[in-house]
Amino acid sequence: MNMQAEHFSKVANSENFFRKLLSLAGVFIIVILLAILFTLFISSFPAIRTFGIYFFSGSTWDPVRSEFGALPFLMGTLATSLLALAISIIFSLPISIFLGEYFTQGGKATFIKSMIELLAGVPSVIYGFWGLFVMAPLVRKLELSLGVAPLGVGIFTASLILAIMIIPYSASLAREVISLVPADLKEAAYSLGATRLEVIQKVILPYAKSGIIAGILLSLGRALGETMAVTMVIGNRNSIPNSIFSPANTLASIIANEFTEATDSIYLASLVELALVLFLVTTFLNTLGKWIIHRMAVNR
Amino acid sequence: MQKTFKIITILFILLGFGQIGLTAEKELLGAGATFPYPLYSKMFDVYQKEFGVKVNYQAIGSGGGIRQLINKTVDFGGSDAIMSEKDQAEAGGPILHIPICAGAVVITYNLPGSPQLKFTPDIIGDIFLGKIKKWNDRRLQEINPGTNLPDMNITVVHRSDGSGTTFIFSDYLSKVSNEWRGQVGKGTSLKWPTGIGGKGNPGVAGLVQQTPGSIGYVELIYALQNKMPYGMVKNKKGNYIQANLKSTTLAANTALPDDMKVSLTDTDSPDGYPISGFTWLLVFQEQDYARKSKEKAKELVKLLWWMTHEGQVHAEPLHYAPLSPKAAEKTEKLIKSISYKGSSLIQ
């Protein structure tokens, strides 16, 4: 009896230990995130103290006179990310339905899946080069035909490139979730006389809703933070954009451009405050997305 | 299995630390300007083959170089911009500006037929201020009578990252245009009144090459290698000068102060190219800091001496203008003034 009790307590101990190790890993992540937030806050404090709330409404970025404002970049980031998201959903949703429902097995299906995943693997800089040398001239032609200034770079081009970059994130996740819809649910619908389209609309999509939105959130997060590809095609104009074709700048892009050369402390602190703004925007949008998912799950 | 893994890990760590110990004496660290990077890269490679001393240079931009030097994380900083009073004060000790070579910032453009154009200082200022908006503007047509300028919009292309090239260009514009000085000023990063930004010299060159009717500023080397047209600029003495090694060297052949902290823009030299500038290596005058050994300081001084003497032969093939005899003379005095605990490191 004693040996048995000893054995059980050993097992219980190692179980306990394993669980504590796992929770430590979780705590570690939280600590890192808080540490990042803390560092950003401390390093940007000189700017926070100087500009206060006007940093968010200020539209001047003047390193010579030490006048800094985040509004142009905030707008640039939101404009490019949301537009890219909208464009990418037009492609990723149909792709995921196609691969998750119609074309699920076989060599060709695997090939298409791999190609989409490859999109995610292409380095950011390559997208930037491709955007600059292939996309920009095409957009330039479009702008000429529309009578707009033929710059080729700007919010439109950046959004197009971003859209292509983020397709795999939402497509892969949505495809997985769509293919996991229980067969008996679909069979039941078919047996009631539903057409394929109706099954997709009324059974598959509602069931996979939260997964699809999670995938969309993932791609939004990627779009918000994307730096290299955007900075090469956005035109780098530090002022508020006034049309979809105008050059602009994003939070990530200006930090990447000016960080290594910022010498005086207010300049540096302002750039760090931009990073803080990006961090907060990403956190806010992620939380909003999670809330939407939660509401949708509850409403099922 | 686990034991082998542990042993291998410990070996790697020891190897890593061992490297630091073994090579610390024979290695120098620098960071800064991207403009002279091709030249420095060549020079450091040759230097290592000849003397066995490895020089590690990170091209992170002039401002980055200044910052790292002030933080004492590098042995020398590279910069196309002269250190500001504020930065000098923050450094806590006099910092010498050792000129290595001079370069030219050229005005490149994209027009059908790539005509050779002429520019005057006020026209350049007004184009980059956004006041002259079309290529067939009366003022441009006046100084380019033989050329048929098209009815196209001018798209300004500038740098999106902080750069020494921008510093030299804006320094020139601040001297020749009161409006520029008042509205924009000079610096490595500016609030540009108009235009789009490209990252680095390649970014600007790329955008100009691709955008019809665009105009931008790049280092001479870049325009040459990409076979882009660039304009002749009217200098202070009224002559239209084409940027090349000769005119850049001549621009430097003017009154030079002892500390070599001089801007070469808007030069007095009659055949000098007006948008030129030195690029410097910045070092502390007193090398006894951050527990640096005398040997290391000596290596640094040796490197500086070599770069400004024997190393100069590498400048011209890479399209950089070598130091003129006058500049070289002053530079020697500066290098000789570098000291360790007060005593000079080179005779």
Q: Is A112 within 8 Å of A167 (Cβ atoms)?
A: no
What local confidence, expressed as pLDDT, does residue B343 receive? Answer: 79
Measure in Å the smallest separation between the Cα of A297 and chain B Cα atoms: 45
What local confidence, expressed as pLDDT, does residue B24 receive? Answer: 53
What local confidence, expressed as pLDDT, does residue A102 receive? Answer: 87
* Res B196 pLDDT > 60: yes
Which CATH number characterizes residue A186's domain? 1.10.3720.10
Cβ within 8 Å, pair B189-A237: no
Based on the fold, state whether residues A47 and A134 are members of the same structural domain: no
Under the banding of pLDDT at 50, 70 and 90, the label for residue B20 is: low
Based on the fold, state whether residues A93 and A130 are members of the same structural domain: yes
The partner residue sitting opposite B162, judged by closest CB among A60, A253, A258, is: A258
What local confidence, expressed as pLDDT, does residue B201 receive? Answer: 82
- Structure token digits, residue B70: 């002030």
Count: domains in chain A: 2
Pick the range with the lowest mean pLDDT from A111-115, A256-260, B191-195, B223-227.
A256-260
Domain assignment present for A64: no
Q: Which strands, in side-by-side order, build the sheet including B196-198?
A: B54-58, B27-32, B76-79, B276-284, B95-109, B214-219, B155-159, B196-198
Asked if the C-beta of A133 comes within 8 angstroms of chain B's C-beta atoms, the answer is: yes
Measure in Å the smallest separation between the Cα of A111 and chain B Cα atoms: 35
pTM of this prediction? Answer: 0.80
Cβ within 8 Å, pair B198-A231: no
Measure in Å the smallest separation between the Cα of A16 and chain B Cα atoms: 23
Asked if the C-beta of B86 comes within 8 angstroms of chain A's C-beta atoms, the answer is: yes
The partner residue sitting opposite B63, judged by closest CB among A64, A149, A260, is: A260
Asked if the C-beta of A209 comes within 8 angstroms of chain B's C-beta atoms, the answer is: no
Measure in Å the smallest separation between the Cα of A123 and chain B Cα atoms: 18
Q: Tally A–B CB contacts below 8 A.
A: 96
pLDDT in tens, A162-205: 999 999 999 999 999 998 999 999 999 999 999 999 999 999 99
Instruction: Please provide the average confidence, as pLDDT, over all residues in chain B.
Output: 89
**Beta pairing partners, B99:** B280
* Res B123 pLDDT > 70: yes
Based on the fold, state whether residues A44 and A123 are members of the same structural domain: no
Based on the fold, state whether residues A51 and A106 are members of the same structural domain: no
Q: What is the DSSP letter of A39?
A: H
Number of H helices, E strands in chain A: 14, 2
* Res A264 pLDDT > 80: no
Q: What is the mean pLDDT of residues B206-225?
A: 90
d(CA A74, CA A59): 10
Domain assignment present for A68: no
What local confidence, expressed as pLDDT, does residue B98 receive? Answer: 95
Measure in Å the smallest separation between the Cα of A247 and chain B Cα atoms: 7
Which of A43, A125, A156, A236 to substitute to test the interface with B, most B CBs within 10 Å? A236
pLDDT in tens, A145-163: 998 888 889 999 999 999 9
Measure in Å the smallest separation between the Cα of B161 and chain A Cα atoms: 4
Q: Which residues contact B139 (CB under 8 A, 6 or more apart)?
A: B123, B126, B132
Based on the fold, state whether residues A172 and A267 are members of the same structural domain: yes
Which of A236, A261, A264, A270 to substitute to test the interface with B, most B CBs within 10 Å? A261
Domain assignment present for A63: no
Question: Any idea which residue has 């892969």 for tokens?
Answer: A172
What local confidence, expressed as pLDDT, does residue A5 receive? Answer: 82
d(CA B279, CA B165): 10
Domain assignment present for A61: no
Cβ within 8 Å, pair B191-A63: yes
pLDDT in tens, B86-100: 888 888 889 999 999
Q: What is the mean pLDDT of residues B145-160?
A: 92
Domain assignment present for A228: yes
Asked if the C-beta of A231 comes within 8 angstroms of chain B's C-beta atoms, the answer is: yes
d(CA A47, CA A39): 14
Residue in chain A nearest B203 by alpha carbon: A232
Its ipTM equals 0.74
d(CA B191, CA B182): 12
* Res B60 pLDDT > 90: no
Based on the fold, state whether residues A77 and A46 are members of the same structural domain: no
Residue B188 or B315, more confident: B315
**Beta pairing partners, B277:** B103
Cβ within 8 Å, pair B191-A235: no
Q: Is A230 within 8 Å of A253 (Cβ atoms)?
A: yes
* Res B19 pLDDT > 70: no
Which of A263, A267, A268, A270 to substitute to test the interface with B, most B CBs within 10 Å? A263
Beta pairing class for B214-219 and B27-32: unpaired
Based on the fold, state whether residues A169 and A30 are members of the same structural domain: no
* Res B268 pLDDT > 70: yes
Based on the fold, state whether residues A47 and A83 are members of the same structural domain: no
Based on the fold, state whether residues A19 and A144 are members of the same structural domain: no
Based on the fold, state whether residues A111 and A226 are members of the same structural domain: yes
Based on the fold, state whether residues A151 and A20 are members of the same structural domain: no
The partner residue sitting opposite A261, judged by closest CB among B188, B192, B197, is: B188
Asked if the C-beta of A198 comes within 8 angstroms of chain B's C-beta atoms, the answer is: no
What local confidence, expressed as pLDDT, does residue B18 receive? Answer: 58
Q: What is the DSSP letter of A84?
A: H
What local confidence, expressed as pLDDT, does residue A127 receive? Answer: 95
Pick the range with the lowest mean pLDDT from A71-80, A86-95, B310-319, B338-347.
B338-347
- Structure token digits, residue A159: 């959004």
Q: What is the mean pLDDT of residues B119-128?
A: 95
Domain assignment present for A295: yes
Cβ within 8 Å, pair A149-B155: yes
Q: Which residues of A touch B95 (CB under 8 A)?
A: none
d(CA B31, CA A140): 38
Asked if the C-beta of A258 comes within 8 angstroms of chain B's C-beta atoms, the answer is: yes
What local confidence, expressed as pLDDT, does residue B214 receive? Answer: 95
Domain assignment present for A62: no
Q: Which domain holds residue A15?
A: 2-55
Asked if the C-beta of B73 comes within 8 angstroms of chain A's C-beta atoms, the answer is: no
Domain assignment present for A122: yes
Pick the range with the lowest mean pLDDT from A43-47, A84-88, A261-265, B164-168.
A261-265
What local confidence, expressed as pLDDT, does residue A300 receive? Answer: 52
Q: What is the mean pLDDT of residues B321-345?
A: 88
Residue in chain B nearest A151 by alpha carbon: B211
Under the banding of pLDDT at 50, 70 and 90, the label for residue A6 is: confident
Measure in Å the smallest separation between the Cα of A258 and chain B Cα atoms: 5
Based on the fold, state whether residues A47 and A172 are members of the same structural domain: no
Cβ within 8 Å, pair A261-B210: no
What local confidence, expressed as pLDDT, does residue B347 receive? Answer: 64
